[in-house]
A = this chain, B = another copy of it.
């Protein structure tokens, strides 16, 4: 059963989860499809309990979901928190670009006045 699918998205925890290269690599892997914990752990030279903590961080902030069938736990990406974080960044960039444009126009006006 998917875990924590209905919790609100907490940007603090999402960015915190992204602030680690192992966790980002796991997300990059899960983008191409679901995987078992053992598959996910394989590329990393890390004890399974430590690796499992990384998966918990990803699951607790909603970036991944897992389900257990028998003794095998499978993980899949849950893209919504990534979208919300990207949206925050895109908004900041949009405001920044408007500000740069205003600055450009101001400097252009200033130049035209000086040229008169």
Point out residues on A near B: beta carbons under 8 Å: 11-16, 18-21, 24, 27-28, 31-33, 77, 79, 82-83, 85-86, 88-90, 92-93, 95-96, 99
A32 partner, pick from B13, B27, B82, B99, beta carbons under 8 A: B99
A67 to B78, CA, bound (A): 42
Question: A32 to B94, alpha carbons, bound, how many Å?
Answer: 11
Contact call A12/B16, Cβ cutoff below 8 A: no
The contact sample of 19 A-B pairs, CB cut-off 8 A, is: A11-B18, A12-B19, A12-B21, A13-B19, A14-B19, A15-B15, A15-B19, A16-B16, A16-B19, A19-B19, A24-B88, A27-B92, A31-B96, A32-B95, A33-B99, A77-B96, A79-B93, A82-B93, A89-B89
A89 touches B85 (CB 8 A): yes
Interface contact A83-B93, CB-CB below 8 Å: yes
- What distance in Å separates the Cβ of A30 from its nearest Cβ neighbour in chain B? 9
Main secondary structure of the interface of A (DSSP, over half): helix
A19: min CB distance to chain B, Å? 4
The one of B33, B83, B92 in contact with A28, judged by C-beta atoms closer than 8 angstroms, is B92
Residue from B12, B79, B92 within 8 A of A96 (CB atoms) = B79
